[in-house]
Amino acid sequence: MTEPPGIPELCTPRLMLRRLVETDAPDLHVAYGDADTMCFWDTLPSRDEAETAARIRQSVDANPQWHRHSRWWGARPDNSSAW
């Protein structure tokens, strides 16, 4: 996966916005794999975490001129996945 340039980490006491990485697939698959959630997107739900990881790679590698927003991920400041 290509390292995106210039993606800063923004931290507050309750939230951290950071660069999206492929290892976020298990957490992101909760949304990407859910048909009710994905009905608002322009694609079908992911079949499994591997497909979600492929979507993350595609987002991170996309042209930043058109897909700058797809490189961010919200996490807890301690980087834990549980909300």
Q: Does residue 36 lie within any of the structural domains?
A: yes
Sheet holding 16-19, edge to edge: 10-11, 16-19, 72-75
DSSP 5-44: TT---EE-SS-EEEE--GGGHHHHHHHHT-HHHHTTSSSP
Question: The tokens 């949304």 sit on which residue?
Answer: 31
Q: Does residue 83 lie within any of the structural domains?
A: no
Q: Does residue 61 lie within any of the structural domains?
A: yes
pLDDT tens digits for 35-83? 999 999 889 999 999 999 999 988 888 766 655 555 666 766 776 654 4
Q: Which pLDDT score, from 0 to 100, does residue 46 have?
A: 97
CB 28 within 8 A of CB 38: no
Pairwise CA distance, residues 50 & 82, whole Å: 20
The number of domains in the chain is 1
